[in-house]
Every structure is written in C-alpha cells, then in structure tokens.
Structure 1
Amino acid sequence: MDKVNAAADRLDSALSRLEGALESLFERAGDPGVVRRELEAMVADRARLADELDASLARERQLQALADEASEALGAAIEEVRAALNREGSS
C-alpha cells in the first residue's frame, strides 16, 4: 500500500508540474483561438498588400510608358523647333 501511495504521490506531483507547464505555455502562446485569428488576419493582410503592390507596379509601368511617350514627343517637338529656327536663320 505504501508503494501505491508513493506512486500516487509521484503521479500527483507529475500532473501538477504538467499543469504548471501547460499554464505557462498557454500564457506565453496566448489563447489559441486568438492566435489563429491573428494569423488569419496577417495572411489576409499579406494577400491584400500583395494585390496592392501588383496594382501599384502595373500603374508604375503604365506611367513609365506614358512618360516615355511624352519624352519622345517632346524630343520630336524640340527637333522641329530647331529645324524651323535653322530654316529661319538660313533665309
């Protein structure tokens, strides 16, 4: 009977240590439901930010193409003005 009581005491002690360790773990990790919701929110934010980045990059490409067109048009206009000035100066 003493062996059974000693084993029961060791089991009780082990269970108490386990409960303490679990409580400590849950305190550090937080509520699993809260952690799961935070993770889901972070994943959703990442997806939204990735979409916004893709849209921004596409807009940047469009703006760069427009800037290139404007630069070419401006260069052509400058050349036309120079040519006109040279014609006027030659006459």
Structure 2
Amino acid sequence: MATDRTEAALGALRQAIAGLENAIDMRIELQRSHGEVEHEVRRVHADRARLAQELDQSQFRANRLEEVNREVSRRLVTAMETIRAVLDR
C-alpha cells in the first residue's frame, strides 16, 4: 500500500517534471520568437528611416528640377520673343 502511494507520487512527480520541461521549452521558444520579432521590427524601422530619407532626397531633386524647368521655360520664351522681334524688323 505504501509502495502504491509512493509509485503514484513518483508518477505525479514525473508528470509535473515533464509539464515543467514542456513549459520551459515553450518559454524558450517564445523568447526566441520574441527576439526574432524584435529584430524584424528594428529592421523595418531602419528600412522606414532609410526610405524616408530617400523620399526627402527625391522630393528635393523633384523640386529642384521643377525650378530648373521653369527657368528653362522662361528663357525659351525670352529667346522666342527675341527671335520674333528680330524677324519682324
């Protein structure tokens, strides 16, 4: 009878240890996954910052090209008016 209780207690202890080992394994996997997610979030933030900087640079270039385009257009109008004035004489 004492042997049966001892065996039952040992069985319960084995089950508890197995449950604890499973919980530890799950926790380790969860931490590993969490670390991977944190790494991915950092990577996404770095990509976002890089893309924002590239967008700012592209916007600056687009604005500059627009200014140059307006200047070229103005000069072309002036040149055409000068040519017309010369031809009209």
**Within 5 Å, which residues of 2 pair with 1:29-44?**
31-44=29-42
The residue type paired with residue 38 of structure 1 is E
- The offset of 1:70, in angstroms, is 0.9
- Aligned positions of 1:1-16 closer than 5 A: 8=8, 12=12, 15=15
Percent identical pairs in the alignment equals 10
1:6-64 Cα offsets, whole Å, 9 max, x none, are: xx49x75xx48x74xx48x84xx973342222112101101101111211121121011
Paired position in structure 1 for 2:85: 87
1:80, CA displacement in angstroms?
A: 1.0
* Cα root mean square deviation, aligned: 3.3
Structure 1 gap segments, 5+ residues each = none
State the TM-score, normalizing by the size of structure 1: 0.65
With normalisation by structure 2, the TM-score equals 0.66
Structure 2: runs of 5 or more not aligned:
none
Q: Which of 1 and 2 has higher RCO (CA within 8 Å, sep 6+)? A: 1
